[in-house]
Amino acid sequence: MTTNRIPQAHNHHHLALGTDLDTGEAVTLDLNQHPHLLAAGWTGGGVSSLLRSVAAHALADGATVTVIDPKRTSFEVLDGLPGLSLSSSPHTMVEEISLFHAEMMRRHTSGETGPQRLLVVEELPQILARINGGDQARLDAAVRLLRAIVLIGGSVGCRLAVDADLSALRWFGLGDQDVLNKMATVVMGRPSRQLLSRLGVDPALTSAGRGTGVLRLPGDKGRRVAIDYLAHAELRAVALGVIHS
């Protein structure tokens, strides 16, 4: 179940995620309070659509957005928009993640906080498979910087949205409690019970329906959400400010 609803102007700095399946209420994510997002789910379950929406919203708010997309296809709809850079090769992925981390550390050291920046990492499990294939030491080192981005970045205007599975969480420590306490999580479909347990999501809340997920904020039990879907033309309109988000 997906809904097609454009975020409204009064949701500035709030990402319109969708509709609560139990109460019918609109569900938004306060990006100032919860700057980082972990999305998990099966292929075709809506994770890429969610991350594209996050990126479009950030562009509309004036943020600089860096997208790591090894598939080269998930974010083509936003390619070329002002403020967005798209990387798919190992070399450019290393460069962009390292530059993002360096800017975050510069701000942390100097006490600066803005302007807002967002790093979107699509298909982290695929990146991990590439690293495990060998001869990717620089990419391995770069991706391990994501943990520090979660721990430090929110306080200096550097946000992360990432797609990960259980193996990726275990690999570089993103799943430890210190990190998860700083992230909102959205679980799409029915991932493994081990992943749900690591994220603190009740398996009874999950659904196999496309476009449905469970939003869990640090400290709560989670809520079932029908995730809003924006078509490609609407994503570009949101990102360009033609439709205010």
Residue 1 has pLDDT above 50, yes or no: no
Helices 90-110 and 146-153: angle between axes, nearest 10 degrees: 30
Find which of 16-20, 84-88, 189-193, 241-245 is predicted with most confidence, using mean pLDDT.
Answer: 84-88
- pLDDT band per the 50, 70, 90 thresholds, residue 167: confident
Instruction: State both tokens at 171.
Output: 């690999």
* 169 — pLDDT class (breaks 50, 70, 90): confident
Per-residue confidence (pLDDT) for residue 71, from 0 to 100? 85
**How far is Cα 72 from Cα 4, in angstroms, rounded to an integer?**
25
**pLDDT tens digit string along 83-106?**
999 999 999 999 999 999 999 999
Are 47 and 41 contacting, i.e. CB atoms less than 8 angstroms apart? yes
Which runs of consecutive H residues, i.e. helices, occur in the chain? 47-60, 90-110, 124-132, 137-143, 146-153, 166-172, 177-180, 193-199, 232-240
Poorest-pLDDT segment among 24-28, 80-84, 205-209? 205-209
* Residue whose pair of structure tokens reads 């799943």 in the numeric block: 175
Lowest mean pLDDT among 85-89, 112-116, 157-161: 112-116
